Amino acid sequence: MEILIHNPLSRFLIQAFLIIACARLVGMVARRLEQPMVIAEVTAGILLGPSLFGWLFPDASAALFAQESLPLLKLVSEVGLIVFMFLIGLELDPKLLRGRGHASVIISHTSIIVPFALGGLLALYLYPRLSQSSVPFMSFTLFMGVAMSITAFPVLARILTERRLLGTKVGALTITCAAVDDVTAWCILAFVVSIARATGLVGAVWTTVFAVVYIAGMMFVVRPFLARLGERGSSKEGLSQDLVAVTLLLLIVSSWTTEMIGIHPLFGAFMLGAIMPKGTGFAHSLAEKLEDFAVVFLLPLFFAYSGLRTHIGLLNSADGWIMCGLIIVVACAGKFGGSAVAARLTGQRWREASALGILMNTRGLMELIVLNLGLDLGIISPTLFTMMVLMALVTTFMTTPLLRWIYPPEELAKELADVPERTPLPAAADVFTVLMCVSYERSGPGMVTLASALAGHGPEARRLYALRLIPPTDRGSFYLDQGPERQGAAALAPLLARAKELGAEVRPLSFVSPKPSHDICNVADVKQADLVLVGWHKPLLSQTVLGGTVYEVMRGARTDVGVLIDRGLTAVRKLLVPFHGTAHDKAALALARRLAQQVGADVTILHVVKPKRRSTDALGAQDAVDEVFEGEEGGALRKSKVVLKVVEHDSPADAALEESKRGYDLVLVGVGAEWGLAQRRFGIRAEDVIQGCPTSLLVVRSYEPAAARAPAPAPSAPILSAALAAEPDRS
């Protein structure tokens, strides 16, 4: 170990590697548990500290995280915190604080006052047991009050978005109260820090005066300058490096100013971010440039530094754990109880009030920043620091499961359904509905070309939906400027442009989805889709097409599913249908029949038989084809050419590949082992028909209601059902 660590830079690089890798690995587990990334990063920091790594491998821990190396780690992590607090200020939209009514004012103030008061009372009990006589009781009491009052605004915004609560009444009210809480709590904390740093009454007065002058200068001098800067950054030239440099210089000056005043650099960073113009794309572009490096590299260093200061071994007695439990109970009672009761008194139902209380009780990263400030200033001891870190973890971890229990999907569905009833669906028998699931921009045009041809041309006979599911992210810029809607519109733009060329009306849908396969199946149910059209793009580590999300959709959807491998589909005139007689092959044949009927496409049906068995098998194939096309008369089908082609070949898949090279626009093939296609969650074998086919290909899975299968809807199904059913149907 000592050989590897031959200078401070080598040690720091090894530390950074371990910290980031550990945070990402724990993050994979956290996402499985539907927990925010901050839980993983805090946990990873504690695991790398003396509570686990130092306990199991004391020599390695002493070498890697030696005391002399911690100042560098602290310095870099504090730079990361300054940038992160600037990003938090960027996320805070002042519009959230206006026009929300008396309810948000009452709840937000109550959710500060009640936990602050309880924290002060708790300080009476903790001060003689966990503090030193050198710490002023007033500073200790005020700090405990602030620490109990914190709400993690950025984590809360992500939870609300992922749970699809942001557009509901309780979501809008919660995000408003959290924004007010954030601003209020940081102002109070600035006051507490100034008192703790002041050498006397005169020093405290001067700190207050300078703080007021600083705030006035930021509001009336810097803010107008930033508005002009934002206009320039939103112009066609975009955000240049010069503008980024000017912004960073302002960040440094603002942070340095608050440090000189006697508050803390973090307040200067937060203040600058809060007054940044939000009405243009300047804030969004700036956040995109800064946040990846700050959040992925710098912020985990802060968590690791906090973890190195968290000694769970200090809680080595029953009294210690009892006090820790008391802190958690008081924290939950103050934040949850104060918010929930205030919400109830303002007219909210108990279920809504409880959900709001649970959300406001989320502390996360913001609490950890406050606790490190208290430890650095000597206001709290390492033992109390450890207890408070555990409290922050518990209150953040409990948010998602408690929210799912108290505010279940069924109740959320009622709120989302509180809109005018949709127009009833037409009763016409030949209405054909296609749900197109768009993952990437380039897959949209081919999808709508096929869907439009399948659905037909009459307004009463077509219903096309384009669904864009957006994976949740830890990026703050994602939530600025209506990130989900913005990303959804961008991904669907090429599809909608192609639909306009074809004269097809497509209704776009987009939302954040942590479980895309379940949500696709549920949207298909709500929209009564006749076909779910899924796109595909080559995986990073596998050659399998019919695996992963595609597999889950094909397994769970209660309708036919088509996987489109688009290789430049612009027209549907000449079709090839490899046919072996399975239910999936018949479903592919039925789609080909519909294309022949709607757009007059020519259909070649390829039936492959083993050598010397041609006559018997050909008769069976002809009967199956006649059954599918039976009863179709007139219209476009008369103009279509339908041919059954029987060939002898030992390998049906190879025969289909050979035939596909004869100039077809689209090949429709049913899922089945005979074509080298099998649905499987994981796979190491490439599907040769898909990989070798030179033209666009549609892999079809037929829905069999009688087949034993797992139920399709996800736990969030009622939410989507209500939200999507509420969308007007204008056909």
At 425 the pLDDT is 45
Residue 291 and residue 439: Cα distance in Å, rounded?
Answer: 24
Q: How confident is the model at residue 93 (pLDDT cuts 50, 70, 90)?
A: low
Assess if residue 418 is contained within a domain.
no
Residue where the block lists tokens 């200068």: 217
**Statement to judge: residues 619 and 650 lie in one domain:** yes
Q: Which of 511, 538, 563 is the last residue of a domain?
A: 563
Assess if residue 381 is contained within a domain.
yes
At 576 the pLDDT is 92
Domain that holds residue 492: 427-563
**Statement to judge: residues 554 and 591 lie in one domain:** no
What's the rounded mean pLDDT across residues 399-416? 68
**Statement to judge: residues 293 and 215 lie in one domain:** yes
The answer to whether 102 and 110 have CB atoms below 8 angstroms apart is no
Q: Would you mind telling me the total number of residues written for the chain in this entry?
A: 731
The neighbour count for residue 132, using CB atoms within 10 Å, is 9
Residue 303 and residue 44: Cα distance in Å, rounded?
Answer: 8
Task: Give, in order, the Cα–Cα distances in Å from 366 to each of 28, 77, 150, 173.
Answer: 22, 15, 7, 20
Q: Which of 525, 545, 563 is the last residue of a domain?
A: 563
Assess if residue 731 is contained within a domain.
no
Assess if residue 39 is contained within a domain.
no
**Statement to judge: residues 324 and 398 lie in one domain:** yes
**Statement to judge: residues 541 and 511 lie in one domain:** yes
> Which domain CATH number covers 309?
1.20.1530.20
Per DSSP, 421 falls in state: P
What's the rounded mean pLDDT across residues 431-450? 85
Q: Model confidence over 236-261: pLDDT tens digits?
A: 456 788 888 889 999 999 999 988 88
**Statement to judge: residues 683 and 700 lie in one domain:** yes
- How far from each other are the two terminal CA atoms of the chain, in whole angstroms? 70
Assess if residue 78 is contained within a domain.
no
> Which domain CATH number covers 602?
3.40.50.620
Give the highest mean pLDDT range of 71-75, 324-328, 581-585, 660-664. 324-328
Q: Which of 563, 596, 611 is the last residue of a domain?
A: 563
**Statement to judge: residues 522 and 606 lie in one domain:** no
Assess if residue 42 is contained within a domain.
no
The torsion angles phi and psi of 699, rounded to 5 degrees, stand at -90, 125
Q: Specify the pTM.
A: 0.66
What's the Rg (C-alpha) of the chain? 31
**Statement to judge: residues 484 and 579 lie in one domain:** no
Q: Model confidence over 647-665: pLDDT tens digits?
A: 888 888 888 888 888 889 9
At 544 the pLDDT is 56
pLDDT for 439 beyond 50: yes
Assess if residue 125 is contained within a domain.
yes
Q: What is the DSSP pairing of strand 531-535 with strand 560-565?
A: parallel
The neighbour count for residue 92, using CB atoms within 10 Å, is 22
pLDDT for 324 beyond 90: yes
**Statement to judge: residues 462 and 399 lie in one domain:** no
Assess if residue 400 is contained within a domain.
yes
The answer to whether 412 and 165 have CB atoms below 8 angstroms apart is yes
pLDDT for 693 beyond 50: yes
Higher-confidence position of 3 and 35: 35
**Statement to judge: residues 311 and 450 lie in one domain:** no
The answer to whether 156 and 174 have CB atoms below 8 angstroms apart is yes
Q: What is the tally of structural domains in the chain? A: 3
pLDDT for 625 beyond 50: yes
**Statement to judge: residues 106 and 125 lie in one domain:** yes
At 571 the pLDDT is 87
Helix axes 8-32, 299-308, angle to 10 degrees: 100
Strands (E), 89-140: none
The answer to whether 76 and 298 have CB atoms below 8 angstroms apart is yes
**Statement to judge: residues 502 and 619 lie in one domain:** no
Residue 141 and residue 137: Cα distance in Å, rounded?
Answer: 6
